[in-house]
Amino acid sequence: MTSPIRLDIDGKVAVLTIDRNERRNSLDNDAIEAFLAALAQVRRSDVVSLVITAVGDRSFCAGSDLKALKTYSEEEVAHHTHLFQLLTETLDELPCATIAAIEGACLGGGLEIALACDSRIADQAARFGFPEITVGVLPTGGGTIRAPRTIGLARAREMMLFGEPMGADEALSIGLVSRVVSGDVRAVARARAEQLASQTHREAVMLLKALLVTGAGVSPRVGAAMAYLSDVALSRSPHFLKTMEPKKS
């Protein structure tokens, strides 16, 4: 049986692929648990950059597998919600950079996964939205927190209250994605991941991500002090000391 999640680690770059194209890359409980296991493997590795992508070009991720949910007991549905929240939290808190390579539909829980990544690169044909309100439910995977932080409260309200999808260009204009490409989005994301991995190290990425999150809730003075202390620690790291060695003629 094919695993719903594939993880390929090549040095400091990893690619995680959702492989459920027949279900529009939606996630049931088994798929989420496999996703979490892959992220745990990334955390234990020396990976600096992780690309999140999916099989096919119809859908990056359709969120929860509704067909599977209909067969679950109440306890299994509650477990599914818990697992999905744990997934986006784990992805958000990884000590490496994360890049979502998005083709096709990126809706509901799929968009919540993308928002938990540090960067989002979209294909020209990608579509984004939170359709939950149209069927009487709510985004429960962290979208109500991460969307306002990314695109602002007014835009997030508009997206979630009306549930209307938007195209890639509009998503770029409001800052939901960082770039839109007309070619191979996976190749572009991989190139960005390799660029980052070649120019820095995991500890710097980890500390920078932590500073960006904690710095949003403190004064500029405290934030600057935190950044200074982190920089002092990094300046003593083997990676930094190696870059300061004189070049051989």
CB 144 within 8 A of CB 116: no
Q: What are 120-147's pLDDT values in tens digits? A: 999 999 999 999 999 999 999 999 999 9
241: confidence class by pLDDT, cuts 50, 70, 90? very low
Q: What is the phi/psi pair of residue 18, to 5°?
A: -80, 120
How far is it, in rounded angstroms, from Cα 7 to Cα 229? 35
How far is it, in rounded angstroms, from Cα 73 to Cα 225? 50
How many Cα atoms occupy the beta-carbon half-sphere of 158 within 13 Å?
10
Position 214 scores a pLDDT of 76
Q: Is 171 left (phi over 0), alpha (psi -120 to 50) or beta?
A: alpha
Q: What are 46-74's pLDDT values in tens digits? A: 999 999 999 999 999 999 999 999 999 99
CB 17 within 8 A of CB 113: no
How far is it, in rounded angstroms, from Cα 16 to Cα 25? 13
SS3 label, residue 16: strand
CA 80, 82, 85, 91 torsion-angle sign: negative
CB 107 within 8 A of CB 129: yes
How far is it, in rounded angstroms, from Cα 234 to Cα 226? 12
Least confident of 123-137, 179-193, 199-213: 199-213
Answer whether residue 229 shows pLDDT above 70. no
Of the candidates 149, 213, 10, 72, the one whose C-alpha atom is nearest the C-alpha of residue 32 is 72
What is the arithmetic mean of pLDDT over 205-214?
A: 88
Total-model pTM: 0.89
What is the arithmetic mean of pLDDT over 102-108?
A: 97
Least confident of 130-139, 152-161, 210-219: 210-219
Q: How far apart are the first and last CA of the chain?
A: 55
How far is it, in rounded angstroms, from Cα 159 to Cα 205? 31
How far is it, in rounded angstroms, from Cα 12 to Cα 202? 9
Q: Which residue has the higher pLDDT, 216 or 82?
A: 82
> Residue 98 has which token pair?
């994360």
Answer whether residue 1 shows pLDDT above 80. no
Position 58 scores a pLDDT of 95
CB 104 within 8 A of CB 57: yes
Answer whether residue 202 shows pLDDT above 50. yes
Our CA dihedral for 126, 167, 146, 24, rounded to 10 degrees, sits at: -40
Position 248 scores a pLDDT of 56
CB 81 within 8 A of CB 108: no
How far is it, in rounded angstroms, from Cα 108 to Cα 47? 28
Answer whether residue 233 shows pLDDT above 80. no
